[in-house]
Chain A
């Protein structure tokens, strides 16, 4: 799964720690999501969507591997 968290975070000039605090997770979790090592739950994806003011499918998109 691809995501645009890093870009959106940069747009709002937020650090990983800032974003982590806003959505109530550790900064390691934000880092793991940005690196594609962890796919967030629906609740966390919706929280991230709320922070950036973008729909979940604008923040996250499936890759070919996810479709098989």
Chain B
């Protein structure tokens, strides 16, 4: 079946190989503040602001690259896992894909709405941090869960 915007199915494995380690290391570094000195570098930033929002414009600053690397790998790996074709991507799989995407989008914004209502000050930063990735995580979970249920529940009748 012709599909637009989906990667070839072979990229799914590559996606998992990027996504899982990036998620594990990313969570670890967020929870423990672990930042290896090896990745301390001076980076160029075109839009630098401090916590008050005051901008000093562009320039160089000291930064540990681990969170940037994990974030990029999570997005790249997550997109490959989420949007690589199944071995046999047909119209029924596309329906399941669409429904999972709708479900994940609702889930993502329910989390954000709850964050708006119940979480304040710096705590809200954590909500936003995780919310950058939850739509992909929720979609990957729901889509694969539904595929699994489909394979289990539909008895194979000859």
Q: Do A and B bind each other?
A: yes
Give the B-binding residues of A (Cβ under 8 A): 6, 15-16, 24-29, 31-32, 34-35, 37-38, 40-41, 44
Asked if residues B157 and A29 are in contact (CB atoms below 8 Å), the reply is: no
Tell me the bound Cα distance from A40 to B95 in angstroms. 11
Asked if residues B158 and A24 are in contact (CB atoms below 8 Å), the reply is: no
> Which one of B88, B93, B154, B156 has the greatest number of beta carbons of chain A within 10 Å?
B154
Asked if residues B154 and A31 are in contact (CB atoms below 8 Å), the reply is: yes
Enumerate chain B residues within 8 angstroms of A37, measured Cβ to Cβ: 154
Enumerate chain A residues within 8 angstroms of B38, measured Cβ to Cβ: none
Top 7 closest A-B pairs, CB basis? A29-B92, A25-B90, A31-B154, A26-B88, A15-B158, A29-B90, A38-B92
Interchain Cβ contacts under 8 Å between A and B, 27 examples: A6-B157, A15-B158, A16-B156, A16-B158, A24-B1, A24-B90, A25-B88, A25-B92, A26-B88, A26-B90, A26-B92, A27-B156, A28-B92, A28-B151, A28-B154, A29-B90, A29-B91, A29-B92, A31-B155, A31-B156, A31-B157, A32-B92, A32-B150, A34-B157, A35-B154, A38-B92, A41-B91
**When A and B form their complex, what is the total count of cross-chain residue pairs whose Cβ atoms lie within 8 Å?**
40
> Smallest CB-CB separation from A15: which chain B residue?
B158
Tell me the bound Cα distance from A15 to B156 in angstroms. 9
Interface footprint category on B: 10 to 19
> Which one of B90, B95, B150, B155 has the greatest number of beta carbons of chain A within 10 Å?
B90
Asked if residues B91 and A32 are in contact (CB atoms below 8 Å), the reply is: no
Tell me the bound Cα distance from A25 to B89 in angstroms. 8
What mask results when residues 109 to 150 of chain B are scored 1 for a CB within 8 Å of chain A, else 0? 000000000000000000000000000000000000000001
Pick the residue among B91, B151, B155, B156 that contacts A25 (CB under 8 A). B91
